[in-house]
Amino acid sequence: MSRRSGILEFAVLGLLRESPMHGYELRKRLNTSLGVFRAFSYGTLYPCLKTLVANGWLIEEPGNTSEDALAAPLTGRRAKIVYRLTAEGKEHFEDLLSQTGPDAYEDEHFAARFAFFGQTSRDVRMRVLEGRRSRLEERLEKMRASLARTRERLDDYTLELQRHGMESVEREVRWLNELIESERAGRDHPRPGPDGSAQQDNTSGESGGLPRPGSTPGPDPSDDTAT
């Protein structure tokens, strides 16, 4: 399994832990609640769902809403399939949620993990946040060393781009410092994200729903395909 597909499976299991969903609704939630998955298509999502079903972590059920009941006779299409998390799937997700290895600190995986911090225990949140901060501090040190070696050979625009990258990492480190301080103090209130935008901080409780960023893209209006 690739790292990217592993992140998608983690997010799908996490969203279905909240409630059963059909594929179209699930993709909308992936796009709007977890911006890291904006580029995922149905061609990526449905093989992932089939794998999770084959592993026994999800089951497929026919849709039972009035809209679904009318879909077949009116459009000739079968009713939407609803995906439901099994007991084994919940146990597997909770195991994934407890992991704090190096993968949890990488850019895309950290974003997905952070989105489910409301369902993560405090000690695991702390280890992930501190690991992410350590990873970024190492990255920042390397960027500074590289800039010091190459500064004289860079033109003004390339130099500005390098500085911009360093400032972005420095800003996220400051944000992580604030989150870690809040976790230690047991606070629970909105905090700015690493890009300066407001984000809901649901990180002090032992469980909860998805954090909802202040600005997220809406679903693609062209994505009206139903399954």
The b/e string for 182-217 (b: 16+ C-beta within 10 A; e otherwise) is: bbeeeeeeebebbeeeebbbbbbeeebebbebeeee
Note the pLDDT of residue 36.
63
Note the pLDDT of residue 2.
59
Q: What is the largest CA-CA distance in the chain?
A: 71
Note the pLDDT of residue 63.
74
Predicted TM-score (pTM) of the model is: 0.72
Note the pLDDT of residue 43.
80
Per-residue pLDDT of the chain (227 residues; tens, 9 = 90+): 556 678 889 999 999 999 999 998 998 888 887 766 666 666 888 999 999 999 999 999 987 655 555 444 444 555 689 999 999 999 999 999 999 999 898 888 898 899 999 999 999 999 999 999 999 999 999 999 999 998 888 899 999 999 999 999 999 999 999 999 999 988 654 444 544 444 444 433 443 333 333 333 333 444 444 44
SS3 41: coil
The b/e string for 6-27 (b: 16+ C-beta within 10 A; e otherwise) is: ebbbbbbbbbbeeeebbbbbbb
